Amino acid sequence: MGLYWRFKLIYNNEEMIKEITAKTLLSSSKHPDPWFGIKYTMNLYRGCQHQCIYCDSRSECYQIEDFAEILVKVNAIELLKKELPSKRVKGTVGLGSMNDCYMPVEKRYRLTRQALELIARCRFPVHIITKSDLALRDTDLLAQIGKVYAAVSFTITTADDSLAKKLEPGAPIPSRRYQAIKTLSEKGIYTGITLMPVLPFIEDNEENISTIINRARDAGAKYIIASFGMTLRDRQREYYYDKLACLFPGLRQRYEQRFGEQYSCSANQAGQLERAFHEACARYDIATRMTHFTKESPQLQLGLFDPGTHSGKA
C-alpha cells in the first residue's frame, strides 16, 4: 500500500507519532476469511501503541521498520469516501488486522469513528478486533451498523490483569475488556472474544483457559475464537525472545530448545486444551465460530473450516 510521507512529528511521552498520507486504503480479497468473514481490510494507522510482546505485525513480511513509531494516515477518511461506495460487492470491512484501531492515538484523531460513520452511511457490515474499551465510545454507530452486521471481537489471551500488563503493556487490562464486552452485549451488539495467541509455557494451562471462558460467560460473550499456539517469525521472534529474557527468567532458553527457529509453534498439550475449551464453551452455550455476514463462500462450510495457527493481532 503506497504511502506519502509528510513528516509531521509529534513527540508524546517518548513515543513518535507521524502524520502521513496514503495512496489507497481498502484492500479486498476474493473470498471472505474463514475466521471472521472479512472481505475488505483497512488500516487507518501503522504501528501499534499496545506493544504486545508477541505481536506478529513485527514480522519482516509486513515491512514495518519501527513498530513503536505510530503513523497516522491523515487522509484515510477522504480515501474511504471514494473507495467504499465504489465497491460493488457488499462484504465485511475488517479493522484491526495490523494494529489496534482503538489504540490511544485514536482518541485524538478519531479516524476509526469517522470510518464507522461512513460505513454506517454506506450500509456495509463491519468486524472490529481490539483490546481496548475505547470501542465503547462508538456504541451508537456499532448499534446502527449492527442492523446490517457489526461484530466486535476483544482479544483476551489471559484473564490475569497483572500478567497482561507484562504481555500487552500498552493495552487496557483484561478486566476492562470484559466490562466492555458486557456493555456492548447488553446493547445487543454481536460481541465475543479472540483467544489467540496462547503462549507456550505462559498461558497454555487449563486454569487460564477456563478462567477466560468463565468470565466470557459472565460478560455475555456470544463466541470465543481460539487458536492454541502462536507464530514466531523472524523479527517477531527476536523481539519476543528479548522480552522473555527480561520478563520471565529462563523462559527464552526453554523456547529456543523447544522451538528453535520454527515459524509457528503449538501450545503445550494443545489437543487437551482444545478439548477442554470446546467442552466448556458447549456447557455455557458460547459459540466457537462466528456467524458471518455472508455464508456463501465454500470456505465457510463447517466441514472445510481449518483454522490452523493464527497470529495475535489487536
Chain residues binding ligand SF4 by CB under 6 A are 48, 50-52, 55, 57, 99-100, 131, 168, 171, 312-314
Q: How far is the CB of 116 from ligand SF4 (least distance, A)?
A: 18
Nearest residue (CB) to ligand SF4, 168 versus 203: 168
Report whether the peptide linkage leading into residue 197 is cis, meaning its omega lies within 30 degrees of zero. Answer: yes
Cell of 261: 527457529
Q: How far is the CB of 294 from ligand SF4 (least distance, A)?
A: 25
Q: How far is the CB of 104 from ligand SF4 (least distance, A)?
A: 11
Nearest residue (CB) to ligand SF4, 25 versus 48: 48
Q: How many CA atoms lie within 13 A of 144 on its CB side?
A: 14
Nearest residue (CB) to ligand SF4, 246 versus 282: 246
Can you list the positions of beta strands (E) in 45-185? Answer: 45-46, 70-73, 92-95, 126-130, 150-155
Q: How far is the CB of 129 from ligand SF4 (least distance, A)?
A: 8
Q: How far is the CB of 171 from ligand SF4 (least distance, A)?
A: 6
Contact residues for 100 (Cβ-Cβ < 8 A; gap 6+)? 48, 49, 50, 129, 130, 131, 132, 171, 314
Nearest residue (CB) to ligand SF4, 239 versus 263: 239
Nearest residue (CB) to ligand SF4, 112 versus 120: 112
**Strand pairing report for 92-95 and 38-42:** parallel
Q: How far is the CB of 313 from ligand SF4 (least distance, A)?
A: 5
Query: Are the C-beta atoms of 57 and 67 separated by less than 8 Å?
Result: yes
Query: Are the C-beta atoms of 167 and 52 separated by less than 8 Å?
Result: yes
Nearest residue (CB) to ligand SF4, 70 versus 300: 70
Cell of 114: 469517522
